[in-house]
Structures are given as C-alpha cells and as structure tokens.
Amino acid sequence: MTEKEFKSPAYNVRPVPVEQIDANSYNPNKMALPEDKLLYESIKDDGYTMPIVCYQKPDGRYEIVDGYHRYTTMLKHKDIYEREHGLLPVSVIDKPIQDRIASTIRHNRARGTHDVDLMVNIVKELKDSGMSDQWIMKNIGMSADELLRLKQVSGIAALFADKDFSKSWD
C-alpha cells in the first residue's frame, strides 16, 4: 500500500467570510499595541500575504489555529473589511484538538512571546487530555527545564503526576 502524498494546506487557500470564523480558546499569544498597529499597516499596504490557519468544525464553521491577530485586524478595521469584501484567506488543517493546540504554540513560538499563565493552562489542558511530558516537549518545542518551570509556577500537583521522584533522603 502506498502512502497518500502529503500536500501542504497553503496550496489550497480558500476565501472564507470572517463571520464564519471563530477564535480558539487556548491561544496564549498576545500582541503589544505597537505591533498591532504595525500589523494593520502591513495588511493595509501589502494585503493578506499569509492565510489564516483554521480547523473546519463539524458544523461548517472555522476555528483559528494560527492567525488570530490577522483575523482581528479585519474585525477592527472597516477599511480592511471592505477592501477584502469580508473574506479572509484560510488554509485548513484537519487534526485533533491536542495537535491543533501544539500547532498554535509552534506557530506562536516561532515568532512571538507568550503569557505565562495561559501557557500553564495549556500545559494543564494537554496533561488532562493524557499527553505525556515527552509529547508536550516534542510537539510544543519546550525544553524539560521550561516545562518544569511552568509546572512549578502553576503550583498544580497534578502536572507532576507522571514523574518519578528519587528519595534522596533515603
């Protein structure tokens, strides 16, 4: 049996009405005001040069995996909305929630900064869904030390559940 040839989602960008797109509940990326203004200027001057990455939900609506700030730029700026006829370029990925979360984090970490409290919540959600420390480190690009620090900051004992601790006092 031959494996299906992989085709990057960027080769199948589709125009989607912004009203059919929803933000996800797990994106820890924040944008400072100067960068937000810069993004608006970039989209105003260059247009949308990168599609929004979405997952198409069973009800037909789309949930953002990457591109939240490009999405909100259209919502906040009537000139952009009108010029683009309310359509955003979307590339679709079809992955389970834990893989979409990992994709979001990878996209963000490649170019942005993160809110620590939201990152703690994401690690907790991934741990609650059964993901191991190894899976989190591999799929989110986190070092063991960074994951340990997030767990320590959280103060949530459940995040340490799959760790074997030595009894150095024995």
* String of DSSP letters for 123-163: HHHHHHTT--HHHHHHHHT--HHHHHHHHHHHT-GGGGTT-
pLDDT digits (tens, 9 = 90+) for 131-156: 899 988 887 777 888 888 887 877 66
Picking from 161, 94, 68, the residue whose alpha carbon sits closest to that of residue 123 is 161
Instruction: Look at residue 158 in the predicted model and tell me its pLDDT.
Output: 55
* pLDDT of res. 161: 57
- pLDDT of 23 above 90: yes
- Please calculate the CA angle 49-52-57 and round it to the nearest 5 degrees: 160
Q: In this structure, what DSSP letter does residue 109 have?
A: H
Mutual angle of helices 133-140 and 97-109, in 10-degree steps = 50
Question: Residue 165's pLDDT is what?
Answer: 46
- Residue 40 CB: number of other CB atoms within 10 A? 18
What is the band of 159 on the pLDDT scale with cuts at 50, 70, 90? low
